[in-house]
Structure 1
Amino acid sequence: MTVDLDGPEPLYEQIAAVLTARIADGTYPPRRRVPSEAGIVEEFNVSRPTARAAVQLLVERGLVVTVRGKGSYVVDAPQA
């Protein structure tokens, strides 16, 4: 799954969709860290605010929880 830089969907939503799919398929298992903002910036070639917005969207959807100073982790039982 790739990110469409010229598509109509906001980049952060596309990145959140990629990360959601990885959570669903077990790439990022429960209680394990998802990529950091810096990791998302590097992998998807986006700005840090875009990476932050993607992670925030996952938090709002109840898929990850952010632990201050440690990173963002997949919740125990993500809602698919």
Structure 2
Amino acid sequence: MHDYEPDRPIWIQVVEILESRIHSGEYQPRHLIPSEMQMVQEFGVARTTARKVVAYLRDQGLVYTVPQIGTFVSYPGRETG
């Protein structure tokens, strides 16, 4: 569980944590990021919040989702859409 800044939306703070892990190389391209349920457990957020985080990261081109498999880190420069 994380300590969140009360004046900032939690979903944005979770996005920043995952972005940091992606940019630092902790999460490598083509490797899974935590599932929604893993985010619920690790970050203490609702599943809808976890979905919002994944959707935002996907919109930013940082991750892509393969249905029934999971969400993976994109290669740098990967185009979305």
Q: Quickly name the TM-score band, shorter chain normalised.
A: 0.7 to 0.9
SS in structure 2 of the partner of residue 66 of structure 1: strand
Report sequence identity in percent: 38
Question: How many residues align structurally?
Answer: 77
Alpha-carbon distance in 1 for matches of 2:52, 2:3: 15
Matches of residues 9-28 of structure 1 in structure 2 within 5 Å?
9-28=8-27
Cα shift readout 1:29-64 (whole Å, capped 9, x = no counterpart): 011000000000000011100111111110011100
Runs of 4+ in 1 over 3 A off after TM superposition: none
TM-score, length-scaled by structure 1: 0.88
SS in structure 1 of the partner of residue 65 of structure 2: strand
User: Unpaired segments of 5 or more residues in structure 1?
Assistant: none
Q: Give the CA deviation at 1:3.
A: 4.5
**Which position in structure 1 is the counterpart of 2:58?**
59
Alpha-carbon distance in 1 for matches of 2:70, 2:28: 15
TM-score, length-scaled by structure 2: 0.87
Q: Which amino acid aligns with 2:23?
A: A
**Which position in structure 1 is the counterpart of 2:43?**
44
Alpha-carbon distance in 2 for matches of 1:19, 1:62: 13
RMSD: 1.6
